[in-house]
Amino acid sequence: MTDTGTAVRRADGTWMVLALACAGQFMVILDASIVNVALPSVQHDLGFTATGLAWVVNGYLLTFAGFMLLGGRAADLFGHRRTLVAGLALFSLASLAGGLATAPQVLVAARAVQGAGAALLAPATLALINTGFTGERARARAFGAWSAAGGVGGMAGALAGGALTTGLSWRWVFLINVPIGAALIALAVLAPAGARAVRREPLDLAGAVTGTAGLAALIYGVMQSADHGWTSAPVAGPAGAGLLLLILFAVVEARFAARPMMPLRLFGNRGVAVGNGLLLLFGGIAIAMWYFTSLFLQDVLGFSALQAGLGQTPAAVMFMVVAGRASALLPRTGTRPLVLAGGACLLAGFGWLAQAGAGSAYVTGVLGPTLLIAVGIGLAFPTLMAAATAGVPESDAGIVGGLANTAGQAGGSVGLAVLATVADAAGYDLVFLVAAGLGLVIAVAGMLLPRLR
C-alpha cells in the first residue's frame, strides 16, 4: 500500500510539473503575440516614433534570445524550479512596470527586462520535461503538450490582444501577466522539487559574458537591417562584433573554461547538433507562417487585425491537434519519418500559398494551404525539440533546453530580417516560396537525425 501510494503521488507530482512547464511556455508565447495588436494604441498614448515603436517588440526579442543560454545554464546550476520561479517573478514585475509606463523609454526598458525573465523561464520549462519524464511515451506526450501550449499561447495572444485593447486598454496586454505569473509561482511552490541536487560550482563568467554579448550583438545587428542595408555600418558593425564574440566564446569554452557554460561535447550528440541546426531553419518557417500570413491577410486581402487573427485560428487549432498526435506517434515511428512528412507538408503548403493573390478567396487561397502548413509544423516542431534535447546528462538539461530555444529564436530573428527584405523587394509570393524551400531542406536534412524514439 505504501509503494502504491508513493507511485500515485509521484505520478500526480509529475503531471503537476508538466502543467507548470506548459503554463510557462504558454505565458512566453502569449506575450510574444499579444503585444502586436496593441502597438498602434501604444504609439498614440505614449508618443512613440515609428522607429521607436519597433523596439517595444525588438527590446523583448533581443534580451530573450541573447540571455537564453545563460538562463539554461542557470537552471542547471541553481535548480530548474528555482530558476523558473525567478524568471516568472522577473517577467511579472516587468509586465507590471510596462502596464504602468508613462514614457516610451520606460516601456522599452520594461520589455527588455521581460525578455530577460523569459530567458530564465523558457529553458527551465524544457528542463522540467527532460528530467521529469524519462519513459519514451510519457516524454513524447509531454513534448506534445508543451508544443501545443505554445500554439494555444500564440492563438490566444492574437485574439486577446485585440479584445483587451478594444474593451479595456493596451495596458492590460501587459497587466494580464501579473495574475497569471502569481498563479504560476504558487503552482511552482506546490510542485515537487525532484530528486536532482543543485550543483555547487561557479558560473563560467567568461563564457557567460562572451556568449550573451555575442548573441545580443548579432541579433541587434540583424534587427537593424529593417531600416538599413545589409552592408551598412549599423548592421555590419554589431553583427560582425557579435560573430567575433561568438568565436571567442567557442574558444573560451573549448580551451580555457574549467566548467564551461556550454560544454562543446554536447555537439557530439547527433540529435543535439542536427536538431538545433534544423530548429534554426524552423524559426524562419514559423515567421513565414504566422507573421507574413497575417500581413498578407491584411495588406492583400484587406482583412482587419481581428479578422486576420480569426483567419489564422483554424491553422493554430490544427497545429495543436497534430502536435499532440505527433507526440503519440514518435515512440513508434522515431524522428525521421515525422520530420520527413512535416517537411513535405511545409513544402506543399507554402508552394500552394505562394499562388494566392489579391483576387484569391480566403478558403482556397489561404485556409487550405495554412492548414497543410500547420500539419507540417505540428509534425516537425515537437519532434525536432525532442531530438535536440534527448540523450544528454540530466545535469545539462537546462543548457540544452536553452540552446534549443536560442536556435529557434535566433532563426526567427534572422528569418524575419531576411524575409522582410524579400517581401519589400519581391512581395509575399517569394517569401512563401523561400519558406517552401526551407521545408524541403528540413525534410532532406531530417534524415541526418538519429533514429530516436
Residue 209: its pLDDT value, please?
Answer: 84
CB 115, CB 64: distance < 8 Å? yes
State pLDDT tens for residues 335-345: 899 999 999 99
Compute the average pLDDT of residues 241-251: 91
User: Cα angle vertex 442, ends 36, 262, to 5°?
Assistant: 75
Compute the average pLDDT of residues 13-22: 75
Whether the per-residue pLDDT at 26 is higher than 80: the answer is: yes
CATH 1.20.1250.20 fits 1-202, yes or no: yes
Do the domains 266-453 and 1-202 match in fold?
yes
* Distance, CA of 235 to CA of 222 (rounded, Å): 6
CB 68, CB 405: distance < 8 Å? yes
Residue 426: its pLDDT value, please?
Answer: 87
Low-confidence winner among 105-114, 268-277, 382-391, 394-403 (lowest mean pLDDT) = 394-403
* Mean pLDDT of the chain, nearest integer: 82
Which CATH superfamily includes the segment(s) 266-453?
Answer: MFS general substrate transporter like domains (1.20.1250.20)
pLDDT band at 10 (very low <50, low <70, confident <90, very high): very low
More confident residue, 142 or 199: 142
User: Cα angle vertex 122, ends 133, 451, to 5°?
Assistant: 45
Whether the per-residue pLDDT at 8 is higher than 50: the answer is: no
Residue 399: its pLDDT value, please?
Answer: 77
* Distance, CA of 65 to CA of 212 (rounded, Å): 9
DSSP string, 242-285: HHHHHHHHHHIIIII-SS-SS-GGGGGSHHHHHHHHHHHHHHHH
State pLDDT tens for residues 376-419: 998 998 889 888 887 777 777 777 877 887 788 788 878 877 88
* Distance, CA of 344 to CA of 447 (rounded, Å): 13
State pLDDT tens for residues 153-196: 777 776 777 778 777 888 988 998 899 889 888 888 876 654 44
State pLDDT tens for residues 368-377: 999 999 999 9
pLDDT band at 7 (very low <50, low <70, confident <90, very high): very low
Residue 11: its pLDDT value, please?
Answer: 44
* Distance, CA of 263 to CA of 73 (rounded, Å): 10
Residue 89: its pLDDT value, please?
Answer: 93
Compute the average pLDDT of residues 224-241: 86
Whether the per-residue pLDDT at 202 is higher than 60: the answer is: yes
Closest to 36 measured CA to CA, from 277, 312, 248, 256: 312
State pLDDT tens for residues 338-364: 999 999 999 999 999 999 998 899 999
Residue 4: its pLDDT value, please?
Answer: 39
Residue 3: its pLDDT value, please?
Answer: 42
Residue 192: its pLDDT value, please?
Answer: 62
Compute the average pLDDT of residues 75-96: 88
* Cell 574549467, located at residue: 258
Domain coordinates of the chain in residue numbers? Answer: 1-202, 204-260, 266-453
